[in-house]
Amino acid sequence: MKSYIKLIVIVFALTLFSCEDYLNRYPLNNPSDVTFLSNETELKMAVAGCYSTLWYNFEGMPFHLCLDAASDIEWDRNGSTLQAVGRGSVDSRNGLIVAFWTNMYAGIAKCNYVLANMERGKSVIPEAAYKQYESEVRFLRALFYSYLVELYGGVPLVETPLTLSEAQMPRNSKEEVVNFILAELDQCAQYLPQQNKPTSGKATKGAAWSLASRVALYNNNWDVAISSAQKVMALEGTEFILNNSYMDLFQYAGQGSKEIIFAVQYLKGTYMHSLFRFFGSRNAMGHTNKKPSYQLADSWECTDGKQIDESPLFDPKQPYKNRDPRLGFTLAVSGSNFLGFQFETHGDSVKCWNYNLSPAKRIANLEATHAYATFTGICYRKYADNLDRLAVNESDLNTIIIRYAEVLLNYAEAKIESGSIDKSVLDAINKVRQRPSVNMPPITTTDKNELRNAVRRERKYELAGEGLRLFDIRRWKIAEDVMNLPVLGRMKKSYPSVAPIVNEVGTAYYTNIPVAQQGESADFKMRVVEIRTFDKTRDYLWPIPYIEMDTNPAMEQNPNY
């Protein structure tokens, strides 16, 4: 945005203009803050600046994906900032807490500037194009507010550019902000294009309806969640199609899939991210900074549709055999081929195969010997594409914010919670479970409690590693349970002899399995990676950043911070 609107003073030959005449002129070859947005080219540039907020990352991690490390399914090795959020020792000076607030409001400020000034070009811009640009910006503003309101609760609702004297605003209630978001999405959907072009990065009707279904679901507005999702579902088969290959969705091969409704776009040499380094294995030159908890691997069902502590198909000696295929698509587990290497984290496996060479060659296995190899014994497979192996910080793999599978699960959950269970609920869940590359047994129950638990498990299986888990455990009020459990890693030289106890929403408990105490060897016990605590009177919301509290006397802090 700065590159589009920054005023550059060009000095012309003073012999051509008098000093007085020169000072009264606007820049002749660059935008002026007085005239900017007076034509379609400038408006396009400004809208692009609003989209650029989506490039915000935290320590190299795309902003929406880093949120899983603040949930029960992931741990961050990078440093104390994100670790503190996950383990419950956060305060209002935490870097992630401050950065999320700052960047979301920076994006909102860009959007407000465009919306307040774009009328300058209204007379020369075709009406349909003008309405679309306006609606794209309103969609983005609603998206930024959707993150703020779920992380911090009620926040100041700013709809226009503010002067310094206007900057001290109180918080609006969460309900007010949510109502604003839903009204904005309803309005802007009218003028956004219907065609779904996943690699365009542009907002569409489907993106607006999908975001509305998410926001409404998160805030118990079942009717809007249902109706918004239905509008997307009505275009299934043309604009929105579940991808046959689940794995391809998170690789370069699947970037054009019509399951993807809205994604952040990257481009080599322009803007890239470091997901390969964060998720990739040590053998593949990655750092595995973001580590799935071992408990996550024990969440997925066996192929008979039963939890691992109930299924006769589960073999503790081969714990990843006969499991929901999404386990192997989401995580790299011992015994699998990951990024062209034999992935093995057993402590005695000091050699492994490098399949990137022809013929394959035995090499030193860093996954078993490197001090900073994965602490939990598993890695994320999503967003780790072997095409990035030789440039681990230069991935331009697009990252998904919304995809069609989530919309189907939003619909199913809203129908269940509203008490309007019918065949369409089972159809929505089973479409997700039974895509060709997954093909899990269908859900058949119509009992409300059983269906509620089924869809909650399904969201964990389907959406792990995509930045939505934190919102789910908060709104279901299970964070006080799952975030008070330690993050566990695998036994270094064995597997548990029995399955953990897995509850109705897919949370694994290891009360029947030995866990290493401080100072004990983890060779034959589960490793404790981090001890976490969660205060249910405080931690369901993040604190308002200290800078806001220090400079805005109208601001009120969240409870117990």
Question: Which is it for the CA torsion 464, 509, 498, 451, positive or negative?
Answer: negative
Domain match, 110 and 161 both: yes
- Specify if 481 maps to a domain: no
Q: Please tell me the predicted confidence (pLDDT) of residue 31.
A: 62
What's residue 30's pLDDT? 57
Per-residue CA distances from 370 to 117, 288, 349, 366, 367 (Å): 55, 11, 12, 5, 6
Q: Are residues 76 and 132 in the same domain?
A: yes
- 186 occurs within a structural domain: yes
Per residue in 469-507, pLDDT (tens digit) is 999 999 999 999 999 999 999 999 999 999 999 999 999
- The CATH number linked to 85 is 1.25.40.390
Query: Is there a single domain that holds both residue 254 and residue 307?
Result: no
DSSP E strand boundaries for 246-328:
260-264, 290-292
Cis-peptide into 553, omega within 30 deg? no
pLDDT of 405 strictly over 80: yes
With 0-12 / 13-18 / 19 or more C-beta atoms within 10 angstroms meaning exposed / middle / buried, residue 557 is middle
**Average of per-residue pLDDT across 72-99:** 92
Is the confidence at residue 4, as pLDDT, over 50? no
Q: What percent of the chain has pLDDT over 90?
A: 90
Give residue-wise pLDDT tens across range 34-81: 789 999 999 999 999 999 999 999 988 999 999 999 999 999 988 778
Out of 250, 269, 288, a domain closes at 269
Per-residue model confidence as pLDDT tens digits over 116-134: 999 999 999 999 999 999 9
Whole-number mean pLDDT of the chain?
A: 93
164 and 283 assigned to the same domain? no
69 and 186 in a single domain? The answer is: yes
Burial classification of residue 365, based on how many CB atoms lie within 10 Å of its CB (0-12 exposed, 13-18 middle, 19 or more buried): buried
Answer yes or no: is pLDDT of 24 > 60: no
Other residues' Cβ atoms within 10 Å of the Cβ of residue 273? 24
What confidence tier does 518 reach under pLDDT thresholds 50, 70, 90? Answer: confident
431 within some domain: no
Do 255 and 361 lie in a common domain?
no
SS3 label, residue 509: strand
Q: How many residues belong to the chain?
A: 561
- 324 lies in the same domain as 373: yes
Residue 29's pLDDT band (cuts 50, 70, 90): low
Whether 192 and 298 map to the same domain: the answer is no
| pLDDT value at residue 451 | 98
C-alpha neighbours within 13 Å on the C-beta side of residue 439: 5
Q: How confident is the model at residue 16 (pLDDT cuts 50, 70, 90)?
A: very low
Pairwise CA distance, residues 58 & 55, whole Å:
10
**31 vs 28: CA distance, rounded Å:** 8
pLDDT above 80: residue 332:
yes
pLDDT above 70 (res 515): yes
pLDDT at 19 over 50: no
- What's the confidence (pLDDT) of residue 26? 52
Q: Which amino acid is at 541?
A: L
Residue 213 counted as domain residue: yes
Domain housing 317:
275-389
Domain boundary pick from 361, 389, 417: 389
* Number of compact structural domains in the chain: 2
Residue 224 CA, chain-centre distance (Å), reads 22
The CA R_g of the chain, rounded to the nearest whole Å, is: 25
The token pair at 216 is 């409404």
pLDDT score at 312: 98
- Other C-beta atoms closer than 10 Å to the C-beta of 550 total 10
Domain membership of residue 500 (yes or no) is: no
Do residues 7 and 153 share a domain?
Answer: yes
Does some domain include residue 55?
yes
Contact call for residues 317 and 495 (beta carbons, < 8 A): yes
Rounded to two decimals, what is the model's pTM?
Answer: 0.93
Which of 352, 316, 346, 314 is CA-nearest to residue 333?
A: 346
117 SS3 class: helix
- CA–CA gap between residue 529 and residue 274 (Å, rounded): 23
Q: What letter does residue 510 receive in the DSSP assignment? A: -
Q: Which residue has the tokens 């997700």?
A: 432
The two structure tokens encoding residue 20:
């007085």
Write out the two tokens for 550. 């220090």
DSSP string, 27-48: PSSS--TTTTTSSHHHHHHHHH
- Euclidean distance between CA atoms 129 and 321, whole angstroms: 53
- With respect to residue 6, please indicate whether it lies within any of the assigned structural domains: yes
According to the model, what pLDDT value does residue 59 have? 87
pLDDT for 287-301, tens place per residue? 999 999 999 999 999
pLDDT for residue 306 is more than 50: yes
Tell me the per-residue pLDDT of 253-288, one tens digit each, with 9 for 90 and over. 999 999 999 999 999 999 999 999 999 999 999 999
Surface-to-core class of residue 8, CB atoms within 10 Å of its CB (0-12 exposed, 13-18 middle, 19+ buried): exposed
Q: Do 53 and 81 have their domain in common?
A: yes
Rounded Cα distance, 401 and 211, in Å: 9
Same domain, 313 and 288: yes
C-alpha span between 67 and 401 (Å, rounded): 12
Does a structural domain hold residue 458? no
Count of beta carbons in the 10 Å neighbourhood of residue 229: 29
pLDDT at residue 561 greater than cutoff 80: yes
Residues 179 and 260 occupy one common structural domain? yes
Q: Is the pLDDT of residue 370 over 80?
A: yes
| Chain centroid, CA 296 distance in Å | 17
CA distances from 58 to 79, 274, 275, 392, 542 (A): 12, 11, 12, 17, 16
Measured distance CA(132)–CA(367) in Å, rounded: 50
Query: Last residue of a domain, which of 243, 269, 295?
Result: 269
